Amino acid sequence: MQIHLKTLGCRLNEAELETWAQAFQAQGHAITRDITAAQLVVINSCAVTQDAARKSRQLIRRIHRENPHAKLVVSGCYATLNADEAQTLLGVDLVVSNKDKANLVEKALSELTFETMPAMATDPAEIALFTRGRQRAFVKVQDGCRYRCTFCIVTVARGEEISRSLTDVIAEINALHAQGINEVILTGVHLGGYGSDNGENIVSLIQAILTQTEIPRLRLGSLEPWELNDDFFTLFDNPRLMPHLHLPLQNGSDSVLRRMARRCKTDEYRQMLERLRSQIPHFNVTTDIIVGFPNETDEEWQESVEFIKRCGFGHIHIFTYSPREGTKAATLPNPVPHEIKKQRSEQLHQLAETMKRDFYQQNIGQTFQVLWEGQREDLKNGKVRAFGYTPNYLRVACEINSDETLENQMTAYRLEQTENCYLEN
């Protein structure tokens, strides 16, 4: 049976998709990039914002239009928070909530009827990852979050914190490396909370991976900035831990951060950036910013913009605030008018693009070990452009002959210039 997998939202969703891909392969099924060839389509949905929920609905409808004969399974945060609505969407055959995600493959194969059944089992991991065009693997190490930021609905959708054992994580990474993967990215709803339920912590997890595996590159998903202690910073003495962190700031005004129930003040955040950049030159910090949080005044907005400028982020994920039923922020007074939110978002996008270009420019002349991906772009001169990532998560490109390949190789290249196509994330 041909299976097509689709995801919206966070890296954790991507990690779960990879786990399902391997499980389907272990049952003898094939993963396909061609949605029209699939007998089964699995969607891992998102609901971090109202817009994400809307996009999840649109994706479900679009996939059903493109392949109305395929069985359609929907999971993820949208399917969990809006289960009844998801079940009524045209084409949806099965809704699997987040708490049942571990059993999604079994439920899909047992509860749905298919015309085609597998003839034999195949090796799962290499086929699942590389068939989907991935050279980097997302490894889910925990789920759930104990914090309650006032704007966040994900903590409701994902539930309490559950950590995987060190043994399981190490075994998965060693298996991925044995099958050709050179970089893994640790993911979780609250990655920094790893071990809250099993006596470990994020530092002990990373130390174990660096000592008990030989994976060449280890990268971390999103981390809450208030959880980085002295022991954490020393981990970057090992060059296999990539010099890039995604540290959600959410706002650059302390008064807004208090209304958000964030646990890191701007001055603490600034000191953290300075420490990282003094320890490792060209350390890349990316972030999330919410625009137009309830009662965000003009003064708070300007304060936020000025602080963001001083941070010099390599990239910013920008979210325009929208109320989510079930969160405390949805009950706060004085919502910011739509037009003001739109203006602030446009201003921040312009600033973010300027900072991204500035950061690339700072890296010109540096030589990096680049992990090249499978994506290629045909050029008019008979050559192709290959794309890859530096250790500090700069997306770069180089020209090679059309009969050559760099896919999944790590080679040293000097960053010579910046162009628009090089700056995409």
Question: Does pLDDT of 410 surpass 70?
Answer: yes
Identify the band that residue 376 occupies on the pLDDT scale cut at 50, 70 and 90. Answer: confident
Instruction: Write the DSSP symbol of residue 225.
Output: G
**Is-contact 244 391, C-beta < 8 A?**
yes
Question: Does pLDDT of 342 surpass 90?
Answer: yes
- The architecture that CATH gives domain 2-125 is 3-Layer(aba) Sandwich (3.40)
Average pLDDT of the residues in 23-40? 90
Q: Which region among 82-91, 272-281, 346-355 has the lowest average model confidence (pLDDT)?
A: 82-91
Identify the band that residue 48 occupies on the pLDDT scale cut at 50, 70 and 90. Answer: confident
According to CATH, the topology of domain 134-362 is: pyruvate-formate lyase- activating enzyme (3.80.30)
Reference 297, options 330, 250, 249, 340; nearest CA is 340
Average pLDDT of the residues in 388-406? 93
Average pLDDT of the residues in 226-252? 96
Question: Does pLDDT of 123 surpass 60?
Answer: no
Identify the band that residue 422 occupies on the pLDDT scale cut at 50, 70 and 90. Answer: very low
- Pair of tokens at residue 256: 């807004």
Average pLDDT of the residues in 140-147? 92
Identify the band that residue 11 occupies on the pLDDT scale cut at 50, 70 and 90. Answer: confident
Element (H, E) at 186: strand 183-188
Identify the band that residue 424 occupies on the pLDDT scale cut at 50, 70 and 90. Answer: very low
**What ranges do the domains of the chain cover?**
2-125, 134-362, 367-423
Question: Does pLDDT of 132 surpass 60?
Answer: no
Question: Does pLDDT of 10 surpass 90?
Answer: no
Q: What percent of the chain has pLDDT over 70?
A: 94
Secondary structure (3-state) at 283: coil
For the chain, how big is the Rg over CA atoms in Å? Answer: 22
pLDDT for 113: 73
> Do 134-362 and 2-125 have the same topology in CATH?
no
pLDDT for 249: 97
The 10s digit of each residue's pLDDT in 265-299 is: 999 999 999 999 999 999 999 999 999 999 999 99
- Greater pLDDT, 378 or 252: 252
pTM exceeds 0.85, yes or no: no
Question: Does pLDDT of 122 surpass 70?
Answer: no
Average pLDDT of the residues in 301-311? 98
Reference 40, options 48, 32, 52; nearest CA is 32
- Number of Cβ within 10 Å of residue 367's Cβ equals 10
Looking at 132-290, list the stretches that DSSP marks H as alpha helix, in order from N- to C-terminal side.
154-158, 166-178, 202-212, 230-234, 254-260, 266-279
- Pair of tokens at residue 313: 């982020």
pLDDT for 115: 52
Identify the band that residue 98 occupies on the pLDDT scale cut at 50, 70 and 90. Answer: very high
- Greater pLDDT, 12 or 125: 12
SS (H, E, C) 80-134: HHCHHHHHHCCCEEEEECHHHHHHHHHHHHHHCCCCCCCCCCCCCHHHHHHHCCC
Question: Does pLDDT of 118 surpass 50?
Answer: no
Average pLDDT, the chain: 90
pLDDT for 381: 83
Reference 12, options 80, 98, 79; nearest CA is 98
Cα(52)–Cα(63) distance, rounded to whole angstroms?
A: 16
pLDDT for 134: 59
- Number of Cβ within 10 Å of residue 403's Cβ equals 7
